[in-house]
Structure 1
Amino acid sequence: MNRIGERMREYRRSIKMTQADFASRLGVTGAAVSAYETGNRLPSYEVLVKIANILGVSTDALLGRQSADRVVVDVTSLTPRQRSLVQDMVEEFAAGNRRGDAL
């Protein structure tokens, strides 16, 4: 059973991305993406990291070592101030969820 490929396909489909679009963003062929998803080929470490970044999940989630509910957001293009504001917002939402006053 190819759990990495299954997870990759599930995450890709959840963001409504085609194999062709995914391959283009990943910098590989559509055949390579198909081979990853069917288990005929495993991605290299570098490609696995790219896959996780594109899909917005951690490599642990792809490998089945972490809950699929955890989402990773790439904030590398933000300024330190913007990153701080995003972190503050996430913490405020989490606190609201714990109190039961979620949006």
Structure 2
Amino acid sequence: MDGFARRLRERAEELGISNAEVARRCGLGERQYAYYTAGTREPNLQALVKISRILGSSSDELLGMADPPSRTERERLLDRLSLAATSLTDQELRTVVAQTEALASPRTKRISKKSPTF
């Protein structure tokens, strides 16, 4: 049980979100989720599935039955971005996509300018 609680806390920290935010996104009460992260209670199957989905981990990983994949810094950042995007409205998501494309656009143009033309 302590391993499960530790893995919950570590994964939330890796994603840069608080336990309270995990609880909110799962539709669980903060106190209820705090019991899970303290190791004093276990979630039922439905709650475990919600938590796994929000944390972007399998239930096996959270329960310690499978090793989590080792992630590069880039993969951890992409995990954080993906998780944050799930809580945005459609309009906010459109704005973020436009901003991200604007950031990536100059880089794409620079790369293509460096490519030799034949």
Are 2:38 and 1:14 equivalent residues in the alignment? no
Question: 1 CA distance for matches of 2:35 and 2:70?
Answer: 26
Query: Which of structure 1's runs of 4+ aligned residues deviate more than 3 A?
Result: none
Residue matched to 2:55: 55
Residue matched to 2:34: 34
Gaps of 5+ in 2: 72-78, 80-118
The Cα RMSD (Å) is: 2.0
Contact (CA 8 Å) 1:57, 1:70: kept in 2 or not?
no
Question: 1 CA distance for matches of 2:25 and 2:70?
Answer: 22
Deviation of residue 20 (structure 1)?
Answer: 1.6
The structure carrying a bigger helix percent of its residues is 2
Tell me the alpha carbon deviations over residues 63-97 of structure 1, each in whole angstroms, 9 at most, x when there is no partner: 111111168x9xxxxxxxxxxxxxxxxxxxxxxxx
Q: TM-score, normalised by structure 1?
A: 0.64
Residue matched to 1:99: none
SS of aligned partner of 1:33: helix
Deviation of residue 19 (structure 1)?
Answer: 1.6
- The amino acid across from 1:47 in the alignment is A
Residue matched to 1:45: 45
Deviation of residue 32 (structure 1)?
Answer: 1.1
Change in 2 beyond 3 A, CA 1:49/1:70: farther
- The amino acid across from 1:66 in the alignment is A
- The amino acid across from 1:9 in the alignment is R
Identity across matched positions, percent: 33
How many residue pairs align between the two structures? 73
Question: 1 CA distance for matches of 2:58 and 2:67?
Answer: 10
